[in-house]
Amino acid sequence: MASLRAVCENFTCIPAVLDHMCTFQTFTIAKLDNEDAVLQNGRKVKTAGVSDLHIGDKVNVYADIIIEKIEEG
């Protein structure tokens, strides 16, 4: 199954839609709880199988899902 990032990077048919749909935001993890994480702004998101997450890690988030870890905390 392709990752959301791969889909967004390889999809070129409707760029205006992708500009809106494929906007990732970077946050720092403040708390971890099983399959959920709480970000530094208090927002609760799903970890979506991203492995090796720790408090303080910087992650890219799309909607309410962590799509990748980008920096160790």
Domains and CATH numbers, the chain: 24-73 (2.30.30.140)
Phi-psi sector, 68: left (phi>0), alpha (psi -120 to 50), beta: beta
pLDDT computed for residue 19 by the predictor: 53
Strands (E), the chain: 25-33, 36-39, 44-46, 58-62, 65-71
Whether the per-residue pLDDT at 40 is higher than 50: the answer is yes
Q: What pTM value is reported for the model?
A: 0.70
Whether the per-residue pLDDT at 11 is higher than 90: the answer is no
pLDDT digits (tens, 9 = 90+) for 43-73: 999 998 898 999 999 999 988 899 899 988 7
Question: Higher model confidence: residue 12 or residue 55?
Answer: 55
